């Protein structure tokens, strides 16, 4: 019997940790971010986005390949989650 469990993080876990990181490290309110809210509109610049990506890579042992660093993939929390799950299959 193969009882292999998925190591892929759940979207909800990714979202919660990202919000916690933004709140703890940048003092941003978690209520600032709705589903498609653009990070740039909340004052998150490209350096903070890279910090967020590095945090996620370390926290969840996932990788964001360099080619995934596009404006569309990193524009919102939802787009980052979608990218993380797509480039880190089970």
Kindly report the pTM of this predicted structure: 0.83
Confidence of residue 2 (pLDDT cuts 50, 70, 90): very low
Residue ranges of domains in the chain: 11-23+39-87
The closest alpha carbon to 77, from 17, 46, 23, 36, belongs to 36
Chain centre to alpha carbon of residue 71: 13
Q: What percent of the chain has pLDDT over 90?
A: 58
CATH number for the domain running over 11-23+39-87: 1.10.1200
How many residues are there in the chain? 90
Range picked from 29-33, 36-40, 82-86 for highest mean pLDDT? 82-86
Confidence of residue 88 (pLDDT cuts 50, 70, 90): confident
Q: Is 18 left (phi over 0), alpha (psi -120 to 50) or beta?
A: alpha
Q: Which residues contact 73 (CB under 8 A, 6 or more apart)?
A: 79, 80, 82, 83
């Amino acid at each position: 019997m193969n009882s292999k469990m998925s190591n892929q993080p759940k979207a909800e876990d990714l979202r919660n940790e990202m919000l916690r990181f933004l709140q703890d490290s940048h003092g941003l309110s978690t209520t600032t971010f709705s589903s498609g809210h653009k990070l740039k509109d909340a004052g998150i610049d490209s350096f903070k986005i890279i910090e967020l990506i590095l945090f996620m890579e370390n926290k969840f042992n996932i990788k964001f390949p360099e080619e995934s660093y596009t404006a569309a993939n990193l524009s919102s929390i939802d787009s980052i989650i979608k990218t993380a799950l797509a480039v880190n299959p089970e």
